[in-house]
């Protein structure tokens, strides 16, 4: 982040860096936000600045909970992201698209309801008229001769058949529209659970899969994989190259962990939920993934120059029966940071 660069002397430069810091993290220039930014910028070697550097490694913003955990205050209406979505990538489905699909679904349901009410009303009306005509024929009153009653029944029956055909056409059209809408909803549902860049399932799909884990027997392990020094790749070569590295790592993880759930959890971070695998086997599997990625020779597409070695660090842990995702993820995350602290390009398991 620009605000954490080594500052030059002078108040004007300090104020400029604070302004950059606020902009980087979507914070409005309110006193509470300014005070937090000042604490970070004014003491770049301090504990708060160090924590901010660790949390923003990879170019991500601080979340509200990050700032509050560091003693800061966040006012409503600022652009800080929710902690659950701090690293969440764009899944390709805009809120406007979702709102439109919901509105169309509601309109379709309302249309079916209206159609059924109209058909019920018409059926009751036809039934009433037929009953009256049949009663008149049975009594054969002078006012309503039998022949006239039969003509009336024929007229009512003809009208009813016409209305039935019209209703069938309307129902067929509505059914076709409903099928098309259902397909769009299924596509939107899949899109909402898939990362648009890598094609992997996303965090939402991971959370849902973890919640269902108790329906299956056997051990579970949770791994968090993070590309080492990914920010350097983006800074040196641009985000387009960084995106290609992300996609390549995603493919390797998916291939090497075939049959297991691999997701892009956010940013340069991936998560793997391994079902039916003991911790030792899970760690060995992830170490093979790590070794495969480290052995790749990435080259720049535009110039064919070597990009340099790309490595990943991994934290993997066994998920205990009944354990919450938050607890298991926190433990795996601590192991990931241990792997980073011990030199990166390694797997830590516990």
Q: Are 48 and 40 in contact (CB under 8 A)?
A: yes
Alpha-carbon separation of residue 158 from 80, 135, 229, 254, 333 (angstroms): 67, 19, 78, 64, 73
Torsion angle defined by CA atoms of residues 265, 88, 188 and 261, in that order, rounded to the nearest 10 degrees: 0
Which residues, 6+ apart, have CB-to-CB distance to 267 below 8 Å? 58, 59, 60, 87, 89, 230
Which residues, 6+ apart, have CB-to-CB distance to 110 below 8 Å? none
For residues 37 and 25, give the distance between their C-alpha atoms in angstroms, rounded to a whole number.
10
β-pair partners for 262 = 272
3-state secondary structure of 300: coil
For residues 281 and 275, give the distance between their C-alpha atoms in angstroms, rounded to a whole number.
11
Q: Are 136 and 149 in contact (CB under 8 A)?
A: yes
Is 118 labeled as catalytic in the residue annotation?
A: no
Q: Are 196 and 97 in contact (CB under 8 A)?
A: no
The single residue of 152, 256, 268, 269 carrying the catalytic annotation is: 268
Q: Are 330 and 222 in contact (CB under 8 A)?
A: no
Q: Are 297 and 310 in contact (CB under 8 A)?
A: no
For residues 80 and 62, give the distance between their C-alpha atoms in angstroms, rounded to a whole number.
7
Give the active site residues. Answer: 268
């Amino acid at each position: 982040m620009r605000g954490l660069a080594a500052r030059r002397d002078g108040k004007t430069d300090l104020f400029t860096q604070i302004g950059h810091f606020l902009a980087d993290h979507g914070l409005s220039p309110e006193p509470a936000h300014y005070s937090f930014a000042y604490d970070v910028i004014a003491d770049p070697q301090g504990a708060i600045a160090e924590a901010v550097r660790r949390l923003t490694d990879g170019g991500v913003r601080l979340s509200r909970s990050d700032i509050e955990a560091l003693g800061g205050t966040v006012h409503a209406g600022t652009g800080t992201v929710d902690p659950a979505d701090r690293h969440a990538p764009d899944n390709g489905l805009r809120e406007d698209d979702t709102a439109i699909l919901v509105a169309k679904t509601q309109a379709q349901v309302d249309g079916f309801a209206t159609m059924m009410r109209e058909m019920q009303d018409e059926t009751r009306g036809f039934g009433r008229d037929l009953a009256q005509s049949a009663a008149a024929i049975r009594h054969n009153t002078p006012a309503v001769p039998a022949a006239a009653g039969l003509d009336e029944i024929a007229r009512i029956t003809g009208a009813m058949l016409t209305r039935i055909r019209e209703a069938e056409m309307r129902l067929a059209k509505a059914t076709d529209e409903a099928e098309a809408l259902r397909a769009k909803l299924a596509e939107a549902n899949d899109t909402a659970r898939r990362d648009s860049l890598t094609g992997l399932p996303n965090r939402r799909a991971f959370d849902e899969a973890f919640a269902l884990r108790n329906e299956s027997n056997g051990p579970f392990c949770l791994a968090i994989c993070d590309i080492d020094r990914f920010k350097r790749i983006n800074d040196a070569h641009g985000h387009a190259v960084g995106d290609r590295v992300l996609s390549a790592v995603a493919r390797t993880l998916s291939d090497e962990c075939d049959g297991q759930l691999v997701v892009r959890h956010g940013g340069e971070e991936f998560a793997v939920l391994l079902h039916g695998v003991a911790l030792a086997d899970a760690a060995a599997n992830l170490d093979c993934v790590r070794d495969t990625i480290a052995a790749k020779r990435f080259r720049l597409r535009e110039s064919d120059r070597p990009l340099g070695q790309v490595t990943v660090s991994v934290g993997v842990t066994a998920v205990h029966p009944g354990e919450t995702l938050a607890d298991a993820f926190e433990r795996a995350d601590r192991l990931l940071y241990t792997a980073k602290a011990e030199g990166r390009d390694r797997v830590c398991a516990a």
